[in-house]
């Protein structure tokens, strides 16, 4: 069954692939507009629903982070207030003093009054001395407080926390015989600055109505409800007062809130909600906002029918445009195909008429540039062959008439040896070696060692002609010596250095040849410490080497430059660097020599 389905699918695909481009485009348009309208509407509705949910979740997350940040800053302020007794000398003194008197009561009362008025939401501030005496200041509207009922809890908490501040979640306190108020509390033990011993405690109660101004804007925007729970899972704040103080540590409302911030889906009483939460790094409290999913998707459901009608209208007009578009797209392609067939038959004098700058227009432009490039390449091949022939002719012009002169020199050398004239014999021997090396083709491949031997023979001949005038030094790595290279590369450069550099000065001169590798290239330098040349002359010479012109600067350096460029590519080149009175350095870069 599977093989039958595969065979049918393959036949259908081959049939479709062999159709003309215009028919393919029409079939594609028909296929696209025949998709089920319900699927199109559902997909669009789903995408927009997810977009709305994502946007609202992101916005609610930012607002939740902002609310949590405000709470963190508020609690951080309270914790800073709890260290103020360390900096008040009177408070330090009186907390370590047994009993009470007017001065102690007034000093501590002033301090507590100051702390109680630092923030409007502070319900009461308490101080206990080393002997268990409790002092407090309460806000107007509170008839009475009962700190003695809470003293043991404070003392137990501070003993466990040592000098660190303690944050207690929402809990009720009595403000008269029958009334309670929900507060959260910050506690810290107080140490003597001089003895570092505990001399009391400071306690700050804050009314949880503080959270209303921070949380209500969030609920108004999201149409949801917000909970704040402490690190133990107990409710610190809720719109429902009955939930205050409840333990939700095992509730599904908190089960997925494990990351520092995020969101998750859940059901509450059978209805879908999205919970966006943020966890404070400083307090460990969690702020969770529960947003009804139906509230978020209500506008999308109302627009669903309108969306389906709009989709049908768009599909109808798309059908009308299908034939026109397919015709407009395929006609330029057909014209281009006809021109390609002419090129295939050898006609390069064709050009696509480009009217528009779309993909098909750019295809036509690229086709025109390709044809122009092919014509340029053909012309370049023709010019390269001409240049290569010219370079070979110039290399042949550098060779001295070979066999006749070589045989004559051999005869002269034999006569010199018979007459015991060793200097003439050596001179003719070296000249014979130079001629023997030069009689073969200029494009013959030799080793670098053979090229260097040829240079040494040439320089030794000059040393005989000009005693104490020329010395030389060759430093080429042994690993380079067996590398292949075309003939007569170094000798013309050395000859140019002798006759244009060293010969123009009276003092002795030196020729130095060095070599090293750079990547896949080998660099050779031929340096002379001769007369050098002016900067303008050097620039003109380098320009001639680049352009291949030989009229002004002779055929030596330019011939070498042109031959290595033709043989090793345009990345291989010869450059000259010189300063008057400091000599000249010719740098020869041959790319790919190490790969041969």
Domain range list for the chain: 82-208, 467-595
pLDDT higher than 90, residue 56? no
For residue 551, what pLDDT band results from cuts at 50, 70 and 90?
very low
Measured CA to CA, the distance from residue 501 to residue 462 in angstroms comes to 14
DSSP 148: G
> 467-595 — its CATH code?
3.30.565.10
Find the mean pLDDT for residues 43-60: 77
Dig out the tokens for 482 from the structure.
């067996």
pLDDT digits (tens, 9 = 90+) for 148-191: 888 999 999 898 888 889 998 888 888 887 788 889 999 999 99
Which tens digits make up the pLDDT trace of 111-139?
999 998 988 889 999 999 988 899 999 88
Write down the pLDDT at residue 412.
Answer: 67
Distance, CA of 193 to CA of 191 (rounded, Å): 6
Confirm if 208 and 184 have CB atoms less than 8 A apart.
Answer: yes
Q: Which residues of 76-95 are buried (b: 16+ CB within 10 A; e: fewer)?
A: eebbebbeebeebeebbebb
Handedness of CA 91, 94, 96, 100 (dihedral sign): negative
Is it the case that residue 407 has pLDDT exceeding 70? Answer: no
Confidence band (pLDDT; 50, 70, 90) for 386?
low
Calpha distance 12→102 (Å, rounded): 104
pLDDT above 50 (res 343): yes
Residue 102 has pLDDT above 80, yes or no: yes
Task: List, in order, residues 6 or more apart from 285 with CB less than 8 Å away.
Answer: 68, 71, 169, 228, 229, 230, 231, 236, 279
pLDDT tens by residue, 466-514: 788 889 999 999 988 999 998 888 988 998 888 888 887 888 899 999 9
CA separation for the pair 421, 414 (Å, rounded): 10
Hey, which CATH number is domain 82-208, 3.40.30.10, 3.30.450.20, 3.20.20.140, 1.10.10.10? 3.30.450.20
**DSSP H helices in 345-358:** none
288-315 b/e (C-beta count within 10 Å ≥ 16 → b): bbbbbbeebbeebeeeeeebbeebeeeb
| Residue 403 scores a pLDDT above 50 | no
| CA–CA separation, 60 and 67 (whole Å) | 10
Is the pLDDT at 250 greater than 70, yes or no? yes
Q: Residue 195's Cα: distance from chain center in Å?
A: 57
Q: Residue by residue, what is the 3-state secondary structure of 240-288?
A: CHHHCCCECCCCHHHHCCCCCEEEEEEEECCEEEEEEEEECCCCCCEEE
Do 82-208 and 467-595 agree at the fold level?
no
Say what the pLDDT of residue 186 is.
94
pLDDT higher than 50, residue 224: yes
């Amino acid at each position: 069954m599977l093989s039958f389905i595969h065979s049918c699918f393959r036949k259908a695909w081959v049939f479709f692939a062999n159709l003309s481009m215009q028919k393919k485009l029409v079939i594609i348009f028909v296929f696209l507009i025949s998709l089920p309208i319900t699927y199109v509407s559902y997909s669009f509705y789903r995408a927009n629903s997810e977009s709305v949910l994502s946007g609202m979740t992101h916005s609610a997350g930012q607002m939740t982070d902002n609310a949590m940040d405000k709470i963190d800053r508020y609690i951080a302020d309270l914790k800073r207030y709890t260290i103020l007794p360390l900096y008040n000398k009177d408070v330090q003194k009186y907390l370590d003093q047994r009993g009470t008197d007017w001065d102690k009561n007034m000093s501590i009362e002033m301090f507590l009054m100051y702390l109680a008025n630092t923030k409007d939401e502070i319900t009461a501030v308490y101080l206990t001395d080393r002997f268990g005496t409790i002092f407090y200041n309460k806000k107007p509207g509170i008839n009475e407080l009962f700190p003695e009922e809470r003293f043991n809890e404070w003392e137990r908490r501070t003993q466990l926390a040592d000098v660190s501040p303690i944050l207690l979640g929402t809990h009720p306190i009595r403000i008269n015989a029958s009334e309670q108020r929900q507060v959260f509390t910050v506690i810290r033990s107080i140490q003597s600055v001089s003895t570092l011993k505990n001399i009391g405690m400071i306690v700050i109660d804050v009314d949880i109505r503080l959270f209303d101004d921070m949380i209500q804007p969030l609920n108004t925007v999201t149409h949801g409800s917000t909970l704040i729970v402490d690190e133990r899972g107990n409710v610190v704040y809720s719109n429902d007062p009955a939930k205050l103080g409840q333990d939700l540590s095992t509730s599904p409302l908190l089960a997925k809130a494990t990351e520092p911030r995020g969101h998750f889906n859940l059901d509450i009483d059978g209805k879908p909600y999205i919970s966006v939460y943020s966890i404070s790094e400083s307090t460990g409290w969690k702020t969770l906002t529960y947003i009804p999913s139906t509230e978020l998707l209500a506008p999308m459901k109302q627009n669903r029918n309108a969306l389906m009608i709009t989709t049908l209208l768009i599909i109808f007009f798309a059908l009308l445009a299908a034939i026109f578009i397919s015709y407009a797209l395929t006609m330029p392609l057909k014209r281009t195909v006809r021109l390609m067939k002419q090129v295939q038959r050898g006609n390069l004098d064709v050009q696509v008429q480009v009217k528009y700058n779309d993909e098909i227009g750019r295809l036509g432009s690229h086709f025109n540039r390709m044809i122009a490039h092919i014509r340029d390449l053909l012309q370049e091949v023709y010019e390269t062959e001409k240049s290569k022939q010219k370079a070979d002719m110039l290399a042949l012009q550098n060779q001295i008439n070979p066999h006749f002169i070589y045989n004559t020199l051999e005869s002269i050398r034999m006569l010199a040896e018979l007459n015991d004239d060793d200097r003439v014999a050596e001179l003719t021997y070296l000249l014979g070696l130079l001629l023997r090396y030069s009689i073969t083709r200029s494009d013959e491949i030799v080793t670098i060692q053979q090229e260097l031997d040829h240079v040494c023979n040439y320089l030794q001949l000059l040393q005989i002609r000009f005693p104490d005038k020329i010395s030389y030094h060759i430093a080429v790595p042994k690993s380079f010596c067996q590398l292949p290279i075309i003939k007569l590369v170094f000798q013309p450069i050395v000859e140019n250095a002798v006759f244009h550099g060293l010969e123009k000065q009276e003092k002795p001169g030196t020729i130095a040849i060095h070599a090293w590798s750079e990547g896949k290239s080998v660099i050779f330098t031929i340096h002379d410490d001769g007369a050098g040349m002016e900067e303008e002359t050097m620039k003109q010479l380098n320009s001639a080497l680049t352009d291949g012109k030989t009229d002004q600067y002779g055929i030596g350096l330019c011939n070498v430059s042109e031959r290595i460029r033709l043989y090793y590519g345009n990345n291989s080149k010869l450059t000259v660097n010189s300063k008057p009175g400091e000599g000249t350095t010719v740098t020869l870069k041959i790319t790919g020599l190490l790969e041969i």
